[in-house]
């Protein structure tokens, strides 16, 4: 039997009540952020990013979500809320490498940071890193699969005070993700190092020689060779190591395999992705 006009009116009234409650909660969150700014003075520091807390929040949302509303929508709403309130605390822009196309990078930036945060396109990952280094507290995003023409861009993240990787996006991975292009997110060093998420730690490694046994050693550590590029005097690689594997252990394993690294610099870290299986 179809719903009566009275029943429909009651359901619509419930929807209106829920919408008003959500708006009230967002305004209340804003008032709390206003107090947070006064207590922590984050607007003065130029950095309000907490990658570990954000990953924890998004993981909890993905694990508890159920019902008719698609997870894409829920994730997008929460991402915009988090990014916008971060922007309110300490204004920032997102710099994006569009050398592989503007559309996927713009989709990633808008999905993860919303439309309030300014979007700044650049011709390369190196240009993005330079823009972030020159900023007060901006973010940069670029694709993981830069290709050989990009060179060993990760080397420009090595050294004290240089920008570092703080996230790998999308955090929630699933087939058909609306912003599914895998990207690294970089920022200037966080004011609070404890705010970083270290499930995976990234290293810029340089080798004078490389061979199959060294690759086997990397695999045995549970690590991943994210990218490689030839450099003067050898090979540079971007390695992702599980957070439980120390740099010393990795160096020793590579040396034992006959490929002692001439340089082994930490260039950031990120959370382990949350993978949603295909239906």
**Domain edge (last residue) among 151, 177, 197:** 197
Examine the domain organization and report whether 79 and 42 are in the same domain.
yes
Whole-number Å distance between alpha carbons of 170 and 84: 18
Which whole number is the average pLDDT over 47-73?
A: 88
Angle at 239 between CA 233 and CA 245, to 5 degrees: 125
* Within a domain: 33: yes
What range does the domain containing 227 cover?
200-270
Residue closest to 257 by CA, chosen among 225, 221, 226, 228: 221
> Cα 65 to the chain's mean position, in Å?
21
Domains in the chain: how many in total? 2
Examine the domain organization and report whether 147 and 231 are in the same domain.
no
Whole-number Å distance between alpha carbons of 125 and 113: 19
* Within a domain: 2: no
In tens, the pLDDT along 183-228 reads 999 999 887 777 788 999 999 999 998 888 899 999 999 999 999 9
* Within a domain: 279: no
Other CB atoms within 10 A of residue 78 CB: 15
Examine the domain organization and report whether 145 and 211 are in the same domain.
no
Examine the domain organization and report whether 55 and 161 are in the same domain.
yes
Examine the domain organization and report whether 143 and 105 are in the same domain.
yes
Examine the domain organization and report whether 22 and 75 are in the same domain.
yes
Q: What are phi and psi of 226, to 5 degrees?
A: -75, -40
Model confidence at 105, in pLDDT bands (50, 70, 90)?
very high
Helix (H) or strand (E) holding 139: strand 139-143
Examine the domain organization and report whether 192 and 207 are in the same domain.
no
pTM: 0.90
In tens, the pLDDT along 89-98 reads 889 999 999 9
Examine the domain organization and report whether 111 and 43 are in the same domain.
yes
Helix (H) or strand (E) holding 133: helix 125-134
**Domain edge (last residue) among 149, 177, 197:** 197
Examine the domain organization and report whether 147 and 93 are in the same domain.
yes
Examine the domain organization and report whether 266 and 180 are in the same domain.
no
* Within a domain: 235: yes
More confident residue, 129 or 90: 129
* Within a domain: 234: yes
**Domain edge (last residue) among 146, 165, 197:** 197
Q: How far is CA 210 from CA 151, 162, 172, 237, 252, in A?
A: 18, 27, 34, 10, 15
């Amino acid at each position: 039997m179809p719903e009566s006009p009275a029943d429909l009116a009651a359901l619509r009234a419930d929807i209106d009540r829920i919408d008003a409650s959500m708006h009230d909660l967002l305004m209340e969150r804003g008032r709390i952020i206003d107090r947070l700014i006064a207590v922590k003075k984050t607007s003065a520091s130029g950095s309000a990013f907490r990658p570990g807390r954000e990953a924890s929040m998004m993981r909890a949302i993905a694990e508890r979500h159920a019902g008719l509303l698609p997870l894409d929508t829920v994730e997008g709403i929460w991402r915009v809320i988090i990014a916008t309130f971060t922007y309110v605390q300490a204004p920032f822009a997102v710099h994006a490498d569009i050398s592989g196309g503007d559309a996927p990078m713009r989709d990633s930036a808008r999905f993860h940071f919303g439309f309030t945060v300014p979007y700044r396109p650049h011709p390369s990952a190196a240009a993005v890193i330079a823009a972030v280094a020159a900023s007060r507290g901006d973010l940069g995003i670029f694709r993981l699969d830069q290709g050989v023409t990009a060179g060993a861009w990760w080397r420009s993240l090595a050294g004290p005070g240089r920008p570092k990787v703080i996230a790998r996006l999308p955090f929630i991975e699933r087939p058909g993700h609306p912003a599914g292009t895998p990207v690294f997110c970089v920022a200037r060093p966080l004011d609070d190092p404890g705010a970083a998420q270290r499930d995976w730690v990234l290293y810029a490694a340089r080798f004078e020689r490389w061979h199959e046994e060294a690759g086997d050693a990397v695999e045995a550590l549970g690590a991943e060779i994210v990218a490689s590029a030839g450099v003067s005097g050898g090979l540079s690689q971007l390695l992702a190591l599980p957070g439980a594997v120390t740099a010393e252990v990795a160096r020793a394993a590579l040396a034992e395999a006959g490929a002692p690294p001439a340089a082994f610099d930490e260039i950031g870290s990120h959370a382990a992705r949350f993978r949603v299986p295909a239906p």
